[in-house]
Structure formats: C-alpha cells, structure tokens
A and B are shown apart, each in its own frame.
Chain A
Amino acid sequence: MALSTVSRVRRQLPTSPWLFAAPGLLITGVFILYPFGSTLANAFTDRRTLIPGHFVGFANFRELWHDDMFWTGLRNSTLYIVGVVPALVVLPLLLALLVQKNIPGITFFRSAFYTPVVASIVVVGLIWVWLLDERGLVNSLLETIGVGRIGFLSDQWLLLFSAMAVTVWKGLGYYMIIYLAALANVPRELHEAASVDGAGAIRRFFTVTVPAVRSTMVLVGALSSVAAFKVFSEVYLMAGPSGGPAGEDTTLVMLVQRTGTGLTGRVGYASALSVVVFVVTVALMLLVLRADRREDA
C-alpha cells in the first residue's frame, strides 16, 4: 500500500476524532440541546417573539392552571392515547399474523399495507377529510345501505374519534412490520406442541403468540403512546387550525403551535406548555418501561 509521509503525519493529529464528530455535535447542540435548555428557561419568562421578556417565576404555570384551553388540550391529547394505543397494539399484530405465511402474492399485500406509512400526514389528512366529508365517499356508502349521512367532521367528539381512526390507519403498516420481525423469532415447535395438545387457533394465539411477542407489544405501546400524546397534524388538518367547533378539538401541541408562533407569539407561555408536553412524554416512557419490568418479575 502506498504510504506517503503526509498520511503518517495526519495519523498523529489528535484533533481528528473530534473533527469526525464535530458536525453532528454542533447541529445537536445548537438545534436540540440549546432549544431544550431555552425552553426550560423561557417557561419562567414573559418573552414574546419580538420582546425579550423578564423573569416571572411560576406565573405561566399558574396561568395555564386556570386556562380552560390548556385543560381541553390536555384532555384531548390524553384521550388520544386511550383511543389510539390499544388499537395500535392489537390490530397490527393480527395483521402481521395475516401476512406472515408465505402464500402467493403475500409480498404485494405486505407492501400495499405499508403504503399509508409512506404518505405524508398532510396527504393522509386531506384524503380522509374528503372521504369523511358530508358529501364524501363514506357518507355516500352509508346512504346507499340506508344508514343515512353522518357529520363526522362537524361534531366535536366524532371529529376527535375520526382523527384517531386516521392515526390508527396510518400506523397499522409500520407496527405490522415490527410485529413481523418479532413473529419470525417465535419457535415453530411451540405452535406444534400446542396443536398436538388440541389447542385451536384462538387458544394458540393467547397461549403461544401473545406471550412470545409480549415485549414487542410493550415496545409498540410505548412508541405509539408517546406519539399519540404529541398528536398535531391529523387534528390540525381535519378540525382546522382553530381546533374544531369552539376549539374543543385542540390538542396540547396544537395549543403550543397556536400560542408560540407568529409575530405576536407568547414564547414564554408556549414554553410552559412545552414543558408539560415534555414531562408527560418522559413520564409515559417511564410508566411503560416499569410496567414491562413488573410483568417480567
């Protein structure tokens, strides 16, 4: 191998490892860690987009305690977890079982089921806004079979429920792939032993499959609950920027976006809201991980 003196010298330079890591560390520092620190700091100020602001102690947190919109946002984001997570833990598992066997054409079906994951949430949101429209496809079908039209996007609760359904629809394929990887590791002998013992498909699902993929179910639960609590785009697109009738469909992150951006944005107050988002997110992760450990014991 050609060996120049230059490369020999360069090998000795002690700075080169830091040169490798520098771009990544710089970007992470400036655009993740510094904003994180300044979110914590701003939460205790009355800073606005164009006004630097002063230290105000816990005033922002006292204000959000009495802010009805904050409680609406917290309620909707929490309801989102309750509505979305069980569906996203169970349905993709069933879907994975359906596409697990290598029957002809199965790779086509696997890919097709993944399509909603690839599409932008904006595209997905607008597709469903049209599908669930007063005069859209779903209502045309409902009318054809004699149910009558339903105002999915005009009622406060139906709107939130529809947005949850869209989140589940978009997430199915993603978690299906995670489950497929887990199912591939379940020893086939377990299934055979169970079927020799006379266990039917449903018994085998609960006694063999579920225990074998339990840790994956916890992982999916953790990932989907954190994502559900931070929901923004689906509700923003389906309910509109102001959050549906009287703003009743506003989620916490929508409130952060609405309060903190623009030239009149209340950065301080939005930061206090962000701190709540952050605390709940971390708490959710710890909660799920602890539940996992307790079941293991």
Chain B
Amino acid sequence: MSVIERARPVERAAVREPRVTDEHGRRIRVWELALRYTLLLAVLAITVGPFLWQLSTSLKGPTEDIYSSPPTFLPEHPTLHNYKRVADTIPVWDYAFNSLKVASANVVTNCVGSALAGYALARLRYRGRRVATLVFILAMLVPVEGIIIAQFTTMRELGLNNTLIGVVLPGCIGAMNVLLMRNAFLNLPYEIEEAAYVDGANVWQRFLRIALPSVKGTVAVVAIFAFMGAWDDFLWPLIVLSDPSKFTLTIGLNYLHGTFANDERLVAAGTVIAVAPLIALFACLQRYFFRGVGEGAVKG
C-alpha cells in the first residue's frame, strides 16, 4: 500500500488538493486531521486557558462582576487599575527585583562553577577524580526536601539566614549541572585539545579558548534552568526569608494571597507580574528549554 502511495507522482496530487503530509511525506486523511486539531484545541484550552482567565481577571475593573454565571471571558472595560493596586499593597517591584537578583546570581554561579568542575571531572588527570565525581553523583541523589531543615540551621550558623545570599547559596552550583557539563566535555573529541597542548597552551587557555566555546549549547541549557529554578523556587526562600522587605516574588505572592485572599483581581494581577517574564523568556528560547528536559531526564 505504502509503496503505491509513494510511487504516485507528487505533482499530480498537488494539483488536486493541497496535501498535508506527516514527517515521512505520507498524506494524512482529512477526518484524521480534523480530529487531531479538535483534540489539540481542547488540550490548548485546558493548558493555556487558566493563564488567560487569570489575565482576564486581572484586567477587570472593580465594578465588573467576576463571579457571574455563565462567566464573562473578556473584560468589558480592560483596566490596569489592579496592577497599580498590587504595587500599593506590597512592594511588588522590589520583590521582582529581588527575584531578578537571585535568578541572575544563580545563572552566573551555576554556569561558571559547573563549567569549571565539569571540565575538571572530564578532562584533567589527577588523583581523586573518581571520588570527586562520586561526590557530585551522591549530591544529585540527595532529595533537597529531606535536608532542608539542616540547610536552614547551616545557614543560621553562617549568619546568612534572611539574606538573598542565603537564598542563592545552596543551589548556586547544582550537582546535576556539574554532571551535565562533564558529559558535554566528555563528548568533545580529544584531538583538538591535544593539538593545543602540543602548541603549549596551558590548562586555562585550553579550557577558555577551546573547550568552553564548543559546549555553548549546554551552558545555555544550564543558564536557562538556573534562571527558571531560582525565579520559580518556593520552599527554600519560604524557609530562609522571614523579613518581608527581602521577599522574592513567589514568597511575596504567597503573602499577598494569605492576606488578601478575597481580592481575586489583586492576586491575579500579582501572578501575571510573576509569570510574564518567564513566558517571554520561554517564547524566545524554546529550543534550549526542550533540550534541557531531554538532558536532565537522562541524568536525573
């Protein structure tokens, strides 16, 4: 059957009807296509609909009924009033700035720290390399939730609880990122670095000029997941931060919800502020998000 289909001249079919084909060039039947799009739209409504409803709620003014049944999906008189009210209620832009600081610091430390350590594990020869690798593998297997109280007491002993540095430190060089970088370096051919070695390049030169530029993709994956992880994190900042002036966005939102739970428009505006930057980031850098899932799943 498929042989006949493939043998059929493509041009003739193209004249008859615009063909929709799958990745192997096989035609997809119309009813199957209709069914697929119906299902796709249904799933779309379930996955993206809640975000749009939140956006819609945040744009509805104080006089508009948000509880009506049947519901009104679009705001009648869209207004940014609620966003102004969030800023009047909690220092939401300070919280956003705190989140940005934490996330940026997490990106820098994870990229630098895990690239260096990954290179040491993959390329350098020294006694104790196996032990060092094992340390990172064991650290990756420890469930964070199981040690979070001890992390908190450690932070207190260091006098860093209730600081943004304390928020960043425990995850600032993730063991999984180190192992991801190690794998990336292991996949590079040895010959290039050997040539550089023969030319007299030292370890830093080989690392910075040859190895690192070849694993840019993995560095990008580490950077994105470090940013997302820090921006979205909830449990650890909730435990380590107690002073409302130091809150990150997620903790601030939790506070907003706890104090003004009945003001849905206000909470909705707060959540939109928290989620919009990440959705924008994701829209721009989808490729690396998806790549990170594949690499992370294999390791984790």
- Chain A contacts to B: CB under 8 angstroms: 1, 3, 7-8, 10-11, 14, 16-18, 20-21, 23-25, 27-36, 38-39, 42, 49, 95, 98-99, 101-104, 109, 111-116, 118-123, 126-131, 133, 135-137, 139-141, 143-144, 169, 172-174, 177-178, 181, 188, 192, 196, 219, 223, 226, 230, 232-233, 237, 241, 253, 256-257, 260-261, 265, 267, 270-271, 274-275, 277-278, 281-282, 285
Contact = CB atoms under 8 A, between A and B. Distances in A.
Contacts of B43: 95, 98, 109, 113
Contacts of B254: 122, 237
B258 to A, nearest CB: 8
Contact of B139 (A7, A21, A32): A32
A105 to B, nearest CB: 8
Contacts of A34: 150, 154
B232 interface: yes
Given A11-B203, A39-B149, A260-B149, A32 B175 contact: yes
B90 interface: no
B132 A181 contact: no
Contacts of A101: 22-23, 28, 36
Given A111-B283, A127-B54, A261 B150 contact: no
B23 A102 contact: yes
B74 interface: no
A107 B207 CA distance: 36
5 contacts: A118-B279, A173-B47, A178-B297, A233-B235, A278-B146
A235 to B, nearest CB: 12
Interface string B62-93: 00000111110000000000000000000000
Interface in B257-277: 257-258, 264, 267-268, 270-271, 274-275
A113 B44 CA distance: 7
Contacts of B268: 130
A219 to B, nearest CB: 7
B50 interface: yes
B150 A7 contact: no
Nearest to B46: A169
Contacts, number: 289
B288 interface: no
Contacts of A104: 20
A23 B20 contact: no
Contact of B204 (A10, A31, A192, A223): A10
B175 A14 contact: no
B24 interface: yes
Interface in B14-34: 20, 22-24, 28, 33
Shortest 5 CB-CB distances between A and B: which pairs?
A24-B117, A35-B150, A20-B120, A120-B232, A260-B149
Nearest to B147: A35
Contact of A17 (B71, B126, B153, B205): B126
A281 B145 CA distance: 10
Given A95-B43, A141-B70, A133 B199 contact: no
B100 to A, nearest CB: 14
A103 B132 CA distance: 47
